[in-house]
Amino acid sequence: MQLEFGYTPKNLRKIIKQSGKTRASFAAWLATLPDCADITDRAVGSWCINPFDRSLKNRNKQHRTMPARYWQRMIENLETQK
């Protein structure tokens, strides 16, 4: 899978798609990881929004950057699932 370096909304969307899960089920899986219990579907959705996509109204208000600790936990656990 071709990814950009580190967390980007595009990378996260690719990872979710490659996992074969819905965004909600991916969020539920993330919430089972250590120190990630507060992750919700809404949070994952806000992390997937491209803040530069002009077709979305209020995109800058909707977008949130995924915390680095969540990204790291996710990558660590995806690698162990292979």
pLDDT digits (tens, 9 = 90+) for 6-62: 899 999 999 999 999 999 999 999 999 999 999 999 999 999 988 777 676 666 667
**pLDDT (0 to 100) of residue 43:** 95
pLDDT > 60? residue 82: no
**Cα–Cα distance between 38 and 59 in angstroms, integer?**
23
Question: Is 16 within the bounds of a domain?
Answer: yes
**Cα–Cα distance between 1 and 17 in angstroms, integer?**
11
pLDDT digits (tens, 9 = 90+) for 11-24: 999 999 999 999 99
Question: Is 77 within the bounds of a domain?
Answer: yes
**What range defines the domain where residue 59 resides?**
9-81
What number of other Cβ atoms are within 10 A of residue 42's Cβ? 13
**pLDDT (0 to 100) of residue 4:** 65
How many folded domains does the chain comprise? 1
**pLDDT (0 to 100) of residue 79:** 76
